[in-house]
Amino acid sequence: MGRAWKYGDNVDTDVIIPARYLVTGDPNQLGPHCLENLDPAFPTGHKPGDIIVGGRNFGCGSSREHAPLAIKGAGVPCVIAVSFARIFFRNAINIGLPVYESPEAAAGISMGDEIEVEAGKGMVLNRTRGEQYAIRPLPPFMQELLDAGGLMARLTQELAREHVGNMGNGGTT
């Protein structure tokens, strides 16, 4: 359970993590600057476990994977929004940050509400208001990627298979 930090439409990756910080890929260094250009209260006021709630087109703009990394580094376990920009959505799944589409949740949740995500049940619970909202299931392929630990876990498996295959061919590549 965490508090909701509620924002509007088109939260872009430049406000999630400004370019001046893109000199590291370390979530722990990016996290403290997450959302500082959008809401100066967030970096100092949020606690690990708090959840970001956005409107339409969350994560639009630059392809910087530093954006979901910064959110992860800030200790935010997931993002809920009406919709996500394509590259941000893909990046988030690839690095293992769950992102949930729920127009109902985005409409019902206010800044500071206590909320809880029950991903297995496809539900967001709003403890402050006693409401619950459905989240759209991820496409099966993306759910599998997330369950497998992200795209790099898949690459490691593929490389291992390839290695075994090459051994069978006498070790040549």
Residues that bind another protein (CB under 8 A): 9-10, 12, 14-15, 18-20, 22-25, 37-38, 56-57, 60-66, 68-69, 83, 85-87, 90-91, 94-95, 139, 141, 150-156, 158-160
Q: Are 97 and 54 in contact (CB under 8 A)?
A: no
Question: Which residue, 138, 26, 130, is CA-closest to 78?
Answer: 138
Minimum distance, C-beta of residue 165 to another protein, in the bound complex (Å):
14
Minimum distance, C-beta of residue 136 to another protein, in the bound complex (Å):
14
Q: By C-beta, is 1 or 156 nearer to another protein? A: 156
The SS3 call for residue 138 is coil
Q: By C-beta, is 153 or 167 nearer to another protein? A: 153
Q: Are 84 and 103 in contact (CB under 8 A)?
A: no
Minimum distance, C-beta of residue 123 to another protein, in the bound complex (Å):
25
Q: Are 79 and 34 in contact (CB under 8 A)?
A: no
Q: By C-beta, is 2 or 59 nearer to another protein? A: 59
Minimum distance, C-beta of residue 118 to another protein, in the bound complex (Å):
27
158: left (phi over 0), alpha (psi -120 to 50) or beta: alpha
